[in-house]
Amino acid sequence: MIQEVSPIEREFLIRSILQAEKPVRFHGVSTTGTGLITTMDRNRISVRLIETFDGLPFTLFERLTGYFDCNGRTYAFDTTVRELKQAQLSLDCPERLLKSLQRKYVRIKSPKSISVGFALANEDIKLDYPICPEYVSFEDERMFSPSRGIKLPEFIADFKEKVKDKATLNTIVMFRTQKPTSFEEQLLSKTGKVLYIPSTLSGLPKNDPYPEGRIITEYIEESFEAPDYFVSGSRFEKLLVEKNQAGISSEIWCPILYYQYVVGYVYLANNQEVPFDISMIDFVWDFSRLLAFQLKQTGYFQHETQRNDAVIHSPRVVDMSPGGMLLSMPKNEIRTPVKEGSIFNVTVSSPDASFTCNAKVLRRYEDKNSFMYGLTFINLSPEDVMNLYERLYRHPYSPDDPRAHEIKPSFSLKAPFSSQGNKK
């Protein structure tokens, strides 16, 4: 996992490679080069270039990404060229230093003449179901293909057979003819997450073990309580007492998500001493996803939909490589943020070519006004990889091109630096 080092460690590492005269690899839009850091202060680092690819120079105000190896690890930082004079560069002192890099390709900042467009499936459809805070895709054929050809009654019967010895009660509730009324139904429909009660004696989990966020934690539940619950008492704690008195020891309320809609839920209850564990959440979650897919395949939603014009999104490309990209979207651009793990179709265009492929959301974070999505291409053809490579790095595709790889390169740059940009 990529990690940011502390400010003290950052300064120590940079001064270490300065004193040891260890080379730093610099990747920019115009060229790639190797240099030595010669001085460092609070605002600037000075670099003496040793060589650049094909002798080409960097340019003033060019954004660079630097990489260096220290103690068996590769580190990376972003910076900007502030002054240049032949082989001497003055760069911004790095504000962040990252370690444990795992990406293969160097990401090009704001690639020129490349745009991205996409339309989320079902975003142009309105259904009369609760809308959850995140959009969840249905484009992962690897997950859904095993359930193809199985009739819906058989699929549900198989699930009930598998859980009958593990749950005292199991049922499926749809919001087609009824709306969420109970506190538990409102919780799962407004969050799109699993209400997991491992024990009616101990309450909800304090932490979510799923990286993408899957269960309702104690903190999330408290946000749905009345403002005066410290005085009047917790509504949910009262429900736990009632459940325990009714002989229920553990529960799972799992939403059935259809894109951005909560169309129902799967409910399991147990009155045995052995509580439901995380593996049961995984099982019910996977079943709920497959059930939504089965409902879609059987035309369950066909007569309930109202279609609008398809919404085409044109996000800003923060950076891109032949392996993926980082996109920035205004928060008001998409009705519901896209959940990590979701897959959707994207079109990448340049003046002389374009291609369409699927992209998967690996990470999502936000700033004040935007959502940032880190995507990986998952079915890009070899031809499109080479075309994108040549567009980004401005050079014919080569597996050993030093401008493309950021970790432990097994190459040496071909030409020493020339301020005129000529080979020597």
Specify the CATH number for the domain of residue 229: 3.30.450.40
Domain hosting residue 192, numbered range: 128-297
Please give the model's pTM, rounded to 2 decimal places: 0.67
The CATH number given to whatever domain includes residue 334 is 2.40.10.220
Residues 314 and 277 in one domain: no
- Does any domain span residue 81? yes
Q: Alpha-carbon distance 180 to 187, whole Å?
A: 9
Question: Domain boundary residue among 47, 72, 104?
Answer: 104
Please state, in angstroms and as integers, the Cα–Cα distance from residue 255 to each residue in 240, 380, 388, following that order: 20, 33, 40
Residues 150, 228 within the same domain: yes
pLDDT for residue 333: 86
Question: Do 160 and 203 have their domain in common?
Answer: yes
- Please tell me whether residue 312 adopts helix, strand or coil conformation: coil
Q: Is residue 403 part of a domain?
A: no
Residues 150 and 287 in one domain: yes
Instruction: Give the pLDDT of residue 304.
Output: 78
The tens digit of pLDDT for each residue in 360-369 reads: 998 898 888 8
Q: Give me the pLDDT at residue 381, please.
A: 85
Q: Could you tell me if 328 and 362 lie in one domain? A: yes
Do 62 and 199 lie in one domain? The reply is: no
State the pLDDT at residue 257. 94
Instruction: Specify whether 275 is located in the same domain as 317.
Output: no
> pLDDT for 156-189, tens place per residue?
999 999 999 899 999 999 999 899 999 999 999 9
Phi, psi of 352, rounded to the nearest 5 degrees: -115, 0
Q: What is the CATH number of the domain that holds 20?
A: 2.30.110.10
Q: Do residues 276 and 136 share a domain?
A: yes
Residue 398 lies in a domain: no
366 within 8 A of 372, measured Cβ to Cβ: yes
Structural domains counted in the chain:
3
Angle between helices 183-191 and 235-245 (to 10 degrees): 120
Residue 302 pairs in a beta bridge with none
Of 246, 274, 297, which one is at a domain's C-terminal end? 297
- What are the distances in angstroms from CA 350 to CA 41, 353, 390? 41, 5, 11
Whether 409 is in a domain gets the answer: no
Give a yes or no: residue 302 inside a domain: no
* The amino acid at 421: G
Question: What pLDDT does residue 1 have?
Answer: 54
The ranges of the chain with pLDDT < 50 are: 408-415, 419-424
* pLDDT given at position 142: 57
Whether 352 and 226 map to the same domain: the answer is no
State the pLDDT at residue 230: 65
Tokens of 105: 């390709």
Using the 3D structure, point to which of 276, 297, 318 is the last residue of a domain: 297
Q: 213 in a domain, yes or no?
A: yes
- 278-297 helix and 152-163 helix, angle to the nearest 10 degrees: 170
Q: What is the pLDDT of residue 421?
A: 43
If asked whether residues 319 and 369 sit together in one domain, one would say yes
54 and 76 belong to one structural domain: yes
Q: What is the structure's pLDDT at 303?
A: 76
Give residue 51's pLDDT.
Answer: 87
Residue 405 within a domain: no
Inside any domain, residue 303: no
Residues 317, 277 within the same domain: no
